Amino acid sequence: MKFLAVLFFLALSCKPAAEEPTDEGPPLGMILEQDGTTYAGVAIIDITPQITETYIDANNDYMFNGCHDDPDGCLDTWTDTNGNGWFDAVWIGGFGPLRPANGVHDPIYTRALVLSHNGEYIAFVTNDLVGVHARRITPARDALAEDGFGADQLIVTSSHNHQGPDTLGLWGNPILGVPGYNEDYQEFISVSIEDAVRQAAASMEAVDFRVASVDMRDVSPWFNGANFGGKNPDKISHGMIHDGRDPVVVSDQLLVMQGIGTEGTVFTLTNWSGHPETRGGDNDQISSDWVGVEREVLEDHFGGVALHMAESLGGMQSALGSELPLVEEDGTHVYQTCDATAIADDTDTECYGKDEGELRVDDDGDTVP
């Protein structure tokens, strides 16, 4: 179901309660023309946490086995940078608890998209976080509403990233009652949500609005396992999703919304159900996981700003645990080629008689990843 696209048009059919004509013009400087044109604005705010204290993972288990109040008192030692006698870690939210961040692999962001059509509008905000409490969203919503932005026109989501800072308080030390979140960072998230909407609203321009979708199960037989008529070694893989819990129920639709302005792409928004957890639990680096890679590929290819909003993540909609075809950093799929030995081997039906370097093709005519 093209849920986000339907949601967009439904939202634009409802009059926002906070929208009242003022001498100052539309709220936040938005374009709210009644001319049948869609307008869009985007913004990006870096929300990568500052890591000031790190630890030595003595047994390489990616789990803190140290004393929170003594840098050298237990197996895992740590740096007391501020000298307060307490391990001020950035705890990573996702997988098991007690996973401190020792560095940053790639930045994480809050990204906003504001759309308007015939005077109605909606804002989508997405965060590279495991989740955001409503009480962190409310201050941003209220601050925007004070300037006339309809409270019901703001939709805030998280990618459910398993490699970002804990924003829910579940991944510190639950036994000792040490929360995994930092209050100052939580307040920073609220401000970032508000600022992203303000910046996006102020940057709106006319766009050609496009929507498309595809079921990933139909893209390649290697995206599906034997249980779903495919060739992936993971028999329950379906549409590039591995559902690790019975019953296997998969939502594999990839929805894309795009806005094209007069000078090129303004935004590309994707909506898909895969958990951002492909780096796994053996990781001590902050990252946006596969979502960040996807955005880089889309922005390099189309230009503009790429955003991702999670679909039905469920339990568990994930690429982790599946055997997925390799891709290059630019998104190009990697397929097996025929070497000199294979093309001379008359028992190798996939390569025999071909030129060296040609793609290996199975009996069904499918290239082999």
276-285 per-position pLDDT tens digit: 999 999 999 9
Position 133 in a domain = no
Domain coverage including residue 356: 335-369
- pLDDT at position 147 over 90: yes
Residue-level pLDDT at 243: 86
Unique residue bearing structure tokens 């740096």: 79
What is the domain count for the chain?
1
Model confidence pLDDT, tens digit, residues 16-67: 544 454 567 899 999 999 999 999 999 999 999 999 999 999 999 999 999 9
Position 368 in a domain = yes
Neighbouring CB atoms inside 10 A of 254's CB total: 18
Task: Give the mean model confidence (pLDDT) for residues 309-334.
Answer: 82
- Cα separation, 237 vs 249, whole angstroms: 11
* Contacts (Cβ under 8 Å, ≥6 apart) of 292: 106, 107, 108, 128
Contact 225, 19 (CB under 8 A): no
Position 292 in a domain = no
Task: Give the mean model confidence (pLDDT) for residues 162-191.
Answer: 96
- pLDDT at position 9 over 60: no
Position 121 in a domain = no
DSSP state of 192: H
For the record, the structure tokens of 339 come out as 């070497």
As a whole-number percent, the residues of the chain with pLDDT over 70 amount to: 94
- Cα separation, 246 vs 279, whole angstroms: 23
Contact 269, 124 (CB under 8 A): yes
Looking at the DSSP bridge assignments, the partners of residue 55 are 78
* Contacts (Cβ under 8 Å, ≥6 apart) of 194: 139, 140, 143, 144
Position 344 in a domain = yes
Position 125 in a domain = no
For the record, the structure tokens of 68 come out as 């929170």
Containing H/E element for 195?
helix 183-202
Residue-level pLDDT at 18: 44
Task: Give the mean model confidence (pLDDT) for residues 183-204.
Answer: 98
Which comes out higher in pLDDT, residue 86 or 8? Answer: 86
Position 271 in a domain = no
- pLDDT at position 358 over 70: yes
Q: Picking from 22-31, 86-95, 109-118, which range would have the lowest pLDDT averaged per residue?
A: 22-31
Mean per-residue pLDDT over the chain, rounded: 92
Position 109 in a domain = no
